[in-house]
Structure 1
Amino acid sequence: MWGAQVPAFDDYHVLVPDLPGFGGSNDQPWPGMAGAADAVAELIRERAKQGRAHVVGLSLGSSVAIHLALRHPAACIDLFLASASVTPARSLAAPVMFALWPRRWFWAALAKAYGLPADSVELFIETGLGISADTARAIYAEVSAGTDVGALAVPYLAVAGEKDARSISDASRLTLGGVTAPGLHHQWNIEDPQLFNDSLRSWVTSRELGAGLRE
């Protein structure tokens, strides 16, 4: 997920947790958005310098980051929210997606739709196949219900790929006042790591909009 980011930020103390139900933690049940946020807050308090962190999330990670900031604002210096989904949205394709979830070709097709480079596809497929359909259904139910960001008091920057799903790009822009990564899709940290890394560094070092993003 963050293979192109971690080496680019070796001047920072970087924590890269696997959320419950994902990666090395895929044997753990999904604890709900609040539970996931609480787990990240505990990690930050125990492992981050001075118990605070610049919090970077993409997709589900952005949703967890928002809940983290709402529940544990003292743990967050700021948020970088990539491809965030915050408004209620129901997809008619969801039942089909869950039916295809355990099929390898489904994840290969998704990698192609995201515009992932060839050297990232296999890891993306294997990671996706490791996520249980039950976890995916539980997360979808929460994310599709939307997130109230009205009480969000932590500084944040929201960025969505220009070619991401309309429900995400519009929500990021209109609800979060976010900006656009031109020509890019949902997984734009892998699709254009240089733009992502430059944008993130501009934000965490000076709270400025990185070159290459569009207001």
Structure 2
Amino acid sequence: MLEQRTRRGHISLDPSSLFFLSLGDHNPTTIILLHGGLSCHLEWSEVVPHLVGRYHVLLPDLPSHSASRHIKLVSIEDVADRVAELIRTHAHGSRAHVVGLSMGGFIAQRLAIEHPSLVSSLFVTGAEPYREGIRLTVAHYPAFVFCVVWLILFLPDWLYWIYASWIGFRRHEALLVEMRKNCRLEMLRNEFASIVRYKVSHVKRIQARTITVAGGKQDDVAGTALVGDALRHRAIEGSELRSMSRAVVVHQALHAWNLQFPALFAAGILAWIENTALPEAFHDI
């Protein structure tokens, strides 16, 4: 477990502050990992050990989730502002390489748009703007999403683990406990109401070197390719931000592939941050 491997980070008594862990404090450069909806910092348990030997890592619980459940998730934009304050206060040099998955990926993009001075680079997966079709339609009916997710999360344990093994997830007992606690309809309503507002036109405002990744088995690969095209045609200063930004697919990856291929996920983060060759499983689109 993550808590057993690392020391506990700052916990603020201020009810408006996010809970977070701060690991590898002696390293000079900060990475912040933003989890997906219904999840918490525990989803990074098997990714973090590959990072903390070289980087300072911040692991927040986002509003309405786990140890930050006391803070209401009002909107993705509001969460981005809260994450910005966390980076200003606790990231080394008040800057961080920002990694976001699913809901965390949308937050990461909003952060890069509204607080560009805080973002050293952006690694986003499973957070392409919802286009026309089933994804956009379903997003307008969060109660339906809630019912489907609830049915999966609250399967009898033995059946849930058969399902998780079948789709390719590694075991995540502590995370499952937290996900069941975090499964709230109000949070999903506010999350999806914010996500559907995010369009490809917003991507062109991102002021950071960015990679957007699609899990080939569940994410919108064509939509991710459109995001890559938008990144390469941004009207921003610094042509290197356009030319060096990329859209890729990991063909065998699920949506939450940090729970499936944690070592590969970490290798992708490190390669992107350090501007070295991406792992072979990453294919440009």
Q: TM-score range by the shorter chain?
A: 0.7 to 0.9
Q: Which position in structure 1 is the counterpart of 2:259?
A: 190
The answer to whether structure 1 residue 22 and structure 2 residue 65 are counterparts is: yes
Instruction: For 1:129-140, list aligned pairs within 5 A.
Output: 129-131=180-182, 132-140=184-192
Larger radius of gyration: 2
Q: How far did residue 164 of structure 1 move?
A: 1.3
1:125 to partner: Cα distance: 2.7
For the Cα contact (< 8 Å) 1:203–1:210, is it kept in 2?
no
Give the structure with the higher percent strand.
2
Q: What is the deviation of 1:84?
A: 1.2
Structure 1 214/145 Cα, relative in aligned 2: closer, same or farther at 3 Å?
same
Structure 1 residue runs of 5 or longer lacking an equivalent are: none
**Aligned match for 1:105, one of 155, 162, 173:** 155
Instruction: Name the CA shift for 1:68/1:106 in 2 (closer, same or farther; >3 Å).
Output: farther
In structure 2, runs of 5+ residues without a counterpart are 1-42, 230-246
Q: Cα 1:114–1:144, aligned 2, differ >3 Å: closer, same or farther?
A: farther
Distance 1:174 1:137 in 2: 26
What corresponds to 1:4 in structure 2?
A: 46
Structure 1 distance, partners of 2:225, 2:67, is 33
Aligned residues: 211
Counterpart of 2:145 in 1: which secondary structure? helix
User: C-alpha distance in 1, partners of 2:227/2:255?
Assistant: 18
Of 113, 126, 141, the match for 2:177: 126
Aligned ranges for residues 62-101 of structure 1 at < 5 Å?
A: 62-88=105-131, 89-91=136-138, 94-101=142-149
1:204 aligns with 2:254: no
Shift of 1:31: 2.7
- The 1:114/1:31 distance shift into structure 2, 3 A limit, reads farther
RMSD of equivalent CA atoms: 2.3
1:171 corresponds, among 199, 223, 235, to 223
Instruction: After superposition, give the CA deviation of every residue in 1:180-206 in whole Å (9 maximum; x if it has no partner).
Output: 012111011110112111111110111
2:250–2:282 CA contact under 8 A, matched in 1: yes
Normalising by structure 2, report the TM-score.
0.68
Partners of 1:77 and 1:207 in 2: CA distance? 16
Shift in Å, 1:13: 0.7
**1:137 CA displacement:** 1.4
- Within 1, Cα distance between the matches of 2:156 and 2:218? 18
Cα distance per residue 1:56-79 (max 9 Å; x no partner) = 000111100000000000000010
Any conservation in 1 of the 2:122–2:210 contact (CA below 8 Å)?
A: yes
Q: What TM-score results when the alignment is normalised by the length of structure 1?
A: 0.88
